[in-house]
């Protein structure tokens, strides 16, 4: 839960050194809990991210009738109720700040003949849900109470779900996943046609749990995903890899802090999540993949990161889905690069935890970096350094908060954020991990 504001200051203080593992992937953690709850039998999960967002999803599946037990740090057991087997919850499901958990659970509940109320914190209440609700209504769910398609809202699941063919108007892994989770309860084949591929964790995990799912190409860069409904999902162990979106913060900090060398263990290397690493490589970053392997259906690797001079590049809009959560910290890397970096097609950032596009620009301007927002494009004019000295308003956005602190570790003057309490939603232990590498955060 959100406590009182916790200001924090980041100061320049020598190189970062060491070997660390960031917390488990948030996307995989949410999906492991939900699919474990829809399987028949006991699903063991290791490496679960124990941030507030994921814990809210765990509470929600428990409220819907699944047995959820924590056995130790990151070690959980879920005893599921089967596809369509959720029970009506006694109270509203509170997702706090978790947009992913909320949208995926809307899909999972939409296929069950129950009524549930969904709610969240002030930030989540501002985020749009209508683009998830539209296809779920086609499957047979009904929205009984909502204002402008936002939380709090009450959803009546489908008594007789019908399979649909759905083409998302905007690329979104969350909307696609909600449709597939609802489609589990429908007879026949539910099809999602993507104009451009978005992260595919739901598809991989559905297959891992035994669903009949087929993926084929659609056009030049799209995909056609077909799911056969009403399977009996079988429990499968899930080992959650380290989150690449969390790894991005110590990774960029090491790149821009002179003399640094850091190894990040077991980071997920799913091709639809590695846009940041590809972009930093184009900027001249020294990032080496060590010990590539497969864990829980996902490719992982250890990453060795060394500080060095970066250069400005143009980042195509087509790359946005593979790095949508990493733009705040990429913008920081761009500030410390030589030359202009143009990041195109960032419309999706306007509906994140905050208007993240405006938040990134404000963060950089507060610290003496020249930046423009042109439509949906972000333009950062890097000079190889940043003045720092700014106070950054985080707007309850964990990634803006962490990006600002990374800025302070390499700036001429310290950088202060107004509130660090939200960082734990995605990266519990961030401050301690960074201090362990030699960062000055106080």
pLDDT in tens, 352-371: 766 899 999 999 999 999 99
* Residues 371, 376, 377: CA angle, nearest 5 degrees: 40
Look up residue 318 and give its two tokens. 């087509």
Report the alpha-carbon distance of residue 287 to residue 248 in Å, rounded: 12
Look up residue 398 and give its two tokens. 């964990």
pLDDT tens digits, 148-198: 899 999 999 999 999 999 999 988 999 999 999 999 999 999 999 999 888
Task: Tell me which of 94, 200, 302, 325 is the catalytic residue.
Answer: 325
Q: C-alpha distances in angstroms, 348 versus 158, 214, 323?
A: 29, 27, 11
Look up residue 356 and give its two tokens. 């993240």
Residue with tokens 């474990």: 36
The CATH class of 8-24+241-441 is alpha beta
Task: With beta carbons less than 8 A apart as the criterion, state whether 274 and 81 touch.
Answer: no
Nearest to 382 by CA among 340, 331, 329: 340
Q: Is 440 annotated as catalytic?
A: no
Which of the four CATH numbers 3.65.10.10, 3.50.50.60, 3.30.2350.10, 3.30.1490.20 does domain 26-239 have?
3.65.10.10
Check residue 85 and give left, alpha or beta (phi > 0: left; psi -120 to 50: alpha).
alpha
Cβ neighbours of 439 (radius 10 Å): 25
Which pTM value belongs to this model?
0.84
pLDDT along the chain (442 residues), means of 10: 77 97 94 98 96 95 98 97 98 95 98 98 92 97 90 97 96 95 98 92 95 94 95 95 96 98 96 94 98 84 98 94 92 98 92 84 98 96 97 93 98 97 89 98 96
Question: Which string of b and e fits 230-250 if b means at least 16 CB within 10 Å?
Answer: bbebebbebbbbbbbbbbbbb
Which pLDDT score, from 0 to 100, does residue 263 have? 98
Question: What is the maximal distance between C-alpha atoms in the chain?
Answer: 62
Give the start-to-end residue ranges of the domains of the chain.
8-24+241-441, 26-239
Which pLDDT score, from 0 to 100, does residue 296 have? 64
Residues in the chain: 442
Which pLDDT score, from 0 to 100, does residue 1 have? 45
Residue with tokens 């209440």: 125
């Amino acid at each position: 839960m959100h406590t009182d504001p916790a200001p924090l200051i980041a100061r320049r203080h020598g190189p970062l050194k060491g070997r660390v593992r960031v917390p488990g992937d948030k996307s995989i953690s949410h999906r492991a809990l939900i699919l474990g709850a829809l399987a028949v039998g006991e699903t063991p999960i290791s490496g679960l991210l124990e941030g507030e967002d994921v814990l809210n999803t765990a509470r929600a599946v428990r409220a819907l009738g699944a047995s959820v037990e924590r056995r130790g740090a990151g070690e959980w057991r879920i005893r599921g109720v089967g596809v369509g087997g959720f029970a009506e919850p006694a109270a509203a499901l509170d997702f706090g700040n978790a947009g992913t958990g909320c949208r995926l659970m809307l899909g999972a509940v939409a296929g069950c003949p129950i009524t549930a109320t969904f709610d969240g914190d002030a930030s989540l209440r501002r985020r749009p849900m209508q683009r998830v609700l539209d296809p779920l209504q086609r499957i047979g769910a009904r929205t009984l109470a909502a204002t402008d398609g936002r939380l709090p809202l009450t959803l009546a699941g489908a008594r007789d779900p019908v399979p649909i063919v759905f083409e998302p108007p905007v690329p979104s892994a969350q909307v696609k996943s909600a449709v597939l989770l609802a489609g589990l309860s429908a007879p026949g084949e539910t099809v999602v046609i993507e104009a451009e591929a978005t992260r595919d964790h739901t598809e991989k995990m559905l297959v891992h749990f035994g669903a009949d799912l087929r993926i084929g190409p659609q056009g030049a860069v799209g995909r056609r995903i077909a799911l056969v409904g009403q399977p009996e999902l079988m429990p499968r162990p899930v080992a959650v890899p380290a989150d690449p979106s969390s790894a991005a913060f110590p990774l960029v900090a090491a790149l821009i802090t002179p003399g640094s060398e850091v190894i990040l263990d077991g980071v997920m290397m799913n091709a639809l999540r590695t846009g940041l690493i590809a972009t930093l490589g184009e900027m001249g970053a020294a990032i080496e993949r060590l010990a590539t392997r497969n864990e829980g259906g996902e490719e992982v690797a250890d990453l060795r990161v060394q500080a060095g001079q970066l250069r400005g590049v143009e980042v195509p809009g087509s790359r946005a889905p593979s790095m949508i959560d990493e733009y705040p910290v990429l913008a920081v890397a761009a500030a410390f690069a030589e030359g202009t970096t143009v990041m195109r097609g960032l419309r999706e950032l306007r509906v994140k935890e905050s208007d993240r596009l405006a938040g990134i620009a404000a963060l950089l301007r507060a610290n003496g970096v020249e930046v423009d927002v042109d439509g949906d494009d972000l333009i950062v004019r890097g000079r190889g350094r940043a003045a720092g000295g700014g106070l950054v308003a985080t707007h309850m956005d964990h990634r803006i908060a962490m990006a600002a602190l990374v800025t302070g570790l390499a700036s001429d003057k310290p950088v202060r954020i107004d509130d660090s309490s939200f960082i734990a939603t995605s990266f519990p232990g961030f401050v301690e991990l960074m201090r362990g590498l030699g960062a000055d955060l106080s």
